[in-house]
Amino acid sequence: MKIFELIAPCHFGLEAVLKREIQDLGYEISEVEDGKVTFYGDAEAIVRANIFLRTTERILLKVAKIKATTFEELFDKTKALPWEDFIPVNGKFWVAKANSVKSKLFSPSDIQSIMKKAMVERLKSVYHVEWFEEDGASYPVRVSFMKDMATIGIDTTGLSLHKRGYRQLTSKAPITETLAAALLMLTPWNKDRILVDPFCGSGTFPIEAAMIAANIAPGMNRSFLSEDWKNIISRKHWYNAHDEARDLMRLDVETDIQGYDLDGEIVKAARENARCAGVEKLIHFQQRDVKDLNHPKKYGFIVTNPPYGERIEEKANLPQLYTTIGESFQRLDSWSMYLITAYQDAERYIGRNADKNRKIYNGMMKTYFYQFLGPKPPRKKKSLE
């Protein structure tokens, strides 16, 4: 059984959540860096990580970590790598993405071109051919330079893992599925507690919460690039992982998950997305203004991604909007509120300082995950039999 190093990228600031997820799947962590977690696993691990992990963007099969400060050095060190261990003679291979931070080699297109040439030279010498048809499975390479150190991996995923397959319709500024899942996992919410998103948009927070509650594997209804890697991954691993995912599902779970939005068409889109995800029975969507937010039960959760004025004309409305959010939250007895926003005056207008505040990069945008903590519910007394 061959053991690989696998790289799981994530949003900056959420590495601890992903690390816990990987450990819960049973794999050993080798390294945690900004925006990625590396772990050890076999061919089956590639499959299970793609199907079960909620908070990573993709799974890369690590080929090597090399230092290169000149293109000549990059060519020689890339050529020295055992590409034949991963790419068969008919494999389609290219350097799909290159990025560089604080490194002497900084041109992505040049890095891509040099590395492709080096890979071709290596495989020509191993397979004793002058021309590659590249009509087989795809093996896209990704390379990331940081301070002259290049981490090289082959993408096992294809379309990013935040593409669960359920979001057919989106609102103006949707939060990604992987980010929504990670933020939910940062809260103490569980399936027995109330959850409301008063700015639900296309429904991502409620849908991800329902999938967590019902234990639905996020990748079970989509395909992956490495399904065609017959030289590395046996088909039985895919069958076994899908069987495992089906066995773990609990669609009969009882939940109180709600999503509101002021736009009726957006609410319809959220319902349709929930139907595509198979969780429409676990969520109540409703057209409702945040000022009308109320709930008779205690100890609930607001988890939301409110508007934060990306357009200049919207910025003028933010003080009143966040004041209203604060007033609605204040009316909810013993609730907690978690909101992600790029609006820096959020606490001021909500009317209280957050108990915790976490900086998270959503793409290139710096956002804040404000956490307003309510009291813990009393423990249920165990009934005496």
**CATH code for the domain of 275:** 3.40.50.150
Q: Which amino acid is at 316?
A: A
Do 205 and 352 fall within a single domain?
yes
318, 369, 375 from 190: Cα distances, Å: 31, 19, 15
Do 182 and 138 fall within a single domain?
no
* Res 335 pLDDT > 90: yes
Do 124 and 202 fall within a single domain?
no
Q: What is the pTM assigned to this prediction? A: 0.94
Residue 382 resides in a domain: no
* Res 169 pLDDT > 90: no
Q: Report DSSP letters for 251-318, one per residue.
A: TT----EEEEES-HHHHHHHHHHHHHHT-GGGEEEEE--GGG---SSSS-EEEE-----SSHHHHTTH
Do 72 and 111 fall within a single domain?
yes
Residues 224-234 have pLDDT tens digits of: 999 999 999 99
- How far apart are the two ends of the chain, measured CA to CA in Å? 49
Residue 165 resides in a domain: no
Residue 366 resides in a domain: yes
Domain that holds residue 365: 177-217+225-372
Residue 95 resides in a domain: yes
Helical axes 177-186 vs 15-24, angle rounded to 10°: 90
Do 253 and 127 fall within a single domain?
no
Sign of CA dihedral 340, 342, 343, 348: positive
Do 145 and 189 fall within a single domain?
no
Q: How many domains does the chain have?
A: 2
Rounded to the nearest integer, the mean pLDDT of the chain is 95
pLDDT at 313: 59
Task: Extract the runs of DSSP E, i.e. beta strands, from 116-210.
Answer: 138-146, 149-155, 195-197
* Spatial CA neighbour of 91 closest among 46, 129, 58: 129
Residue 323 resides in a domain: yes
User: CA-CA distance, 248 to 215, in Å (whole number)?
Assistant: 6
Residues 271-321 have pLDDT tens digits of: 999 999 999 999 999 999 999 999 999 999 999 999 987 665 578 899 999
What is the gyration radius of the CA atoms in the chain, in angstroms?
23
